[in-house]
Amino acid sequence: MWLRLQRMLVWRHRTIAAKRAVFSFLVSASALYLFLGFTSTTWETVTYKYNVDLDSLRNCSDIISTQELFPNSIPPLVHWTSKSGRVPAKLVPIVRSWRLLLNIRINNSRNFSAGDQLALLKSNNLQDFGTGNGSITNGSNKDVDSFSTDRWHFMHWDDKQISELISKHYPYLVQSYRKLVNGLERSDIGRLVVLHHVGGLYVDTDVELLRDPTPLLRPSQLQEAGLTPNFDCESAVWSQEPIEHAAFPFDLPALISNAVMMSRANHSFLSFVLTNWPPWFEQNWAKKRGRKSIDAVHVTGPVMLQKFYKKYTALKQSDRPADWCGNMLAEPGAFHPLNDVAYVPKRLKTACAKPEKLSKLQKQFCSPLTISNLELKQIPNTSYTVHKFMHLSYRENNFSNSIRISSIVPIFRCKV
């Protein structure tokens, strides 16, 4: 009897201790929830509201891509893509930089810097998209049929929209697109499709805007704009990776980038890539199992684009389309003035420790001074953007602290 009573007391003591532990856990969890909730609410207090009935919208291509609206320029559209329309909270200031510097009428535009724009905002001398509480004013989010051509618009495309766009307008891509194995591969093809379909400026969500890019909408008229010396294209501008990225590990003197690219709709280079990529993919990559996100650079990203760019620019005179461009590249510093400092210096130090395995091109980067200068490199005042190289797409997870992109910038919408 005494032993039984002793066991009951021990059990009661353990139960009380367990309850206390559970209570402490719940209090801690509640505090954490309130903190995260407050953080999320703080970010999402500004939500741009729309009164447009999406079912009544006309097709994007009918409204935006017509030559009547943009006969002589790239359309003033900024495109982002993501899995579900949300971006990690750490990217909010970067995405917001585009609204800050492009919150102007195009016909009143000049080369605004971030400092200029902040001064204008503080002085209230800027024609703003919205009111102080974040709602859209009349004229900034008109019905799609009265799409304004004198200001920049922001568009976002999630995986569902891109899949629908491909199914409806690019049926020749469907089979190969369904064989892509991760979000980064799908995003790489999706951004090309979006740019081909409606035109504009595509940027990764970790690319920050530093300077008004409006003059680049008509690049052939621009002088000393950070374009390559023999630039000869009126209808597209493509960024290049930093030269260190091209050399390591690809051993290339230059590498086109798909993190920042501008083009008119239906541009011949995009048509060339999208038409030739499916058979190339089926032959070289479709049957390879176990591809990782990092392999996307070869399958759908810059290395793939570099191959097709080389073939496109080498087309015979008789095979060249009307809008063919022999050089549509900007200097690396125009859009990617800094290299990936979390990767490149370490990679160089490791590779340069075994110079016998390096090419002549790669050995040029192996001096201690060159490696140390990579980490000290400054952004020139001629750069339009800076790529932060956060590699968030490689992680393929659901970010617990993420923000709707429509809470950061006003998203223009139309039917696929």
Q: DSSP for 193-242, please give it.
A: HHHHHH-EEEE-TTEEE-B--GGGGSGGG-SSSSB-TT---SSEEEEE--
Give the integer Cα–Cα distance in Å for 251 and 303: 11
DSSP 412: P
Q: How does 152-184 read in b/e, with b if 16+ C-beta sit within 10 Å?
A: bbbbbbbbebbbebbeeebeebeebbeebbbbb
Distance CA 358, CA 370 (A): 16
Per-residue pLDDT of the chain (416 residues; tens, 9 = 90+): 544 444 444 444 445 555 455 455 554 554 444 444 433 333 333 333 333 444 445 677 666 655 667 877 899 999 999 998 999 999 999 999 999 999 877 765 444 444 444 443 333 333 333 333 222 333 333 333 346 778 899 999 999 999 999 999 999 999 999 999 999 999 999 999 999 999 999 999 999 999 999 989 988 766 556 677 788 898 999 999 999 899 988 999 999 999 999 999 999 999 999 999 999 999 999 999 889 888 999 999 999 999 999 999 999 999 999 999 999 999 999 999 998 887 888 888 888 888 899 999 998 888 776 766 766 678 998 899 999 998 776 554 556 788 899 999 999 888 88
Amino acid, res. 210: L
Reference 186, options 346, 301, 50; nearest CA is 301
pLDDT in tens, 340-358: 887 888 888 888 888 899 9
Report which of 299, 280, 296, 192 is spatially closest to residue 238, judged by C-alpha positions: 192
Do residues 201 and 78 touch, judged by C-beta distance below 8 A? yes
Q: What whole-number distance in Å separates Cα of residue 109 and Cα of residue 214? A: 7
Task: Report the distance separating Cα 14 and Cα 18, nearest Å.
Answer: 6
CA–CA dist 6, 252 (Å, integer):
78
CATH for 63-106+148-338+377-388+402-407 is: 3.90.550
Strands 207-209 and 153-157: unpaired
Total number of residues shown for the chain = 416
Q: Which two tokens stand for residue 73?
A: 């320029």
For the CA atoms of 394, 167, 196, 78, the dihedral, rounded to the nearest 10 degrees, stands at: -60
